[in-house]
Amino acid sequence: MAVLTSGGDAPGMNAAIVSAVQVAASAGAEVVGVEGGYEGLINGKFRPLVQTDPHSGGLAPIPELPRVGGQGGTMLGTGRSTRFFDPEHRRHAARVMRDSGVEALLVIGGNGSMEGAHALWSEHGLAVVGIPASIDNDIGHSRESVGVDTALNTILDACDRISDTARSHHRAFIVEVMGRDCGYLALAGAVATGADAVLLPEKNPERTEVVKRLERLVRHSFSGRRQKRRVLVLKAEGVKIPTEALVAELSEAVADLQHVEVRATVLGHIVRGGNPTFRDRMLASRFGLVAVQAILAGRSGVMVCWSTSDRGEPTSDAFVKLFPLDSVLQETQLLTEGTSDLQNERIHRLEAIHGAMAF
């Protein structure tokens, strides 16, 4: 089998690779890694991830593998391949796999990666299983993806630090976090940090209305009745209003308030990096185990999901289910459109628990 990481990197990808290779090696399966995502698959850039154990004569992971399990990023490298959108290049990749003796492919990545996996399975009948790894948590059917917990802990730490200085200077901060199509990081981060408001791409808020609502929020928060010392607003990067422009317009709107300043912080790729938390290492390891078990059992065209619902195919892990990739992609589309029941549930929970404005 081959293991591939694709799209944006996520903390825990290495842990998933390590788990998958260890399980496969113990079952006597040869494993190669694909370097550079789908682009590497097209170019046939494979590297061995197992070797013969001189003592037992069986297969074992290569020596460097256990050391990378606790590291962020991905040891195999990743990227987004524009060539893979071309059916002819996908056909070439399938031919490269077969010519190299690769019988199954494990894809670790986000929604674009799962689209590529689905194409290889549906167009060329290749044995493909997916593991969801995306800090945006925007993959259908899986309540959590590899990398999400680490990203949220990074956001939490940054916002706690920002709140310290905001309280000291009577400031309102708009903090932009990652989330191109899905505002989960901003949403969950708002709950964890006690934010006053959160801006989500699913809501597609109108610019003038956003400024008006934030102006009311700032005025009310810093009024004599509330006497708050800081206002914190989380904004997903997918919200179409530029953060700096929003800060400038809000600053102008509250310019009459003495000793009140509005500032912006864009966390950017800091959110994507760092060593994975315990939860991400645990999640990645359990996903890796079930994914390889699915491959060895002859399953294909499916993705492992963290799910407590009655839907999905049960596995050896009570919390990990298998869902068909076509169903995963359909649910992912609903998430990015803001019409998913799961996303609406998350928004309602934020408002019920914390009372923060979500728009």
| Residues that are catalytic | 136
Cα 302 from Cα 118, distance rounded (Å): 8
Cα 268 from Cα 248, distance rounded (Å): 20
CB contact at 8 A, 10 and 284: no
Cα 238 from Cα 212, distance rounded (Å): 20
**Helices assigned H by DSSP within 223-305:** 243-253, 278-296
The type of residue at 347 is I
The DSSP code sequence of 26-74 is HTT---EEETTHHHHHHHT-EEE-EEE-TTTSSEEE-TTHHHHTTSSS-
Report helix, strand or coil for 199: strand
Cα 195 from Cα 186, distance rounded (Å): 10
Task: Supply 350's token pair.
Answer: 């934020």
What residues contact 131, with CB distance under 8 A and at least 6 apart? 16, 20, 106, 107, 108, 109, 146, 284, 287, 288, 291, 303, 304
- For residue 294, how many other CB atoms are within 10 A of its CB? 24
State the Cα torsion 226-247-161-163 to the nearest 10°.
Answer: 0
- For residue 15, how many other CB atoms are within 10 A of its CB? 27
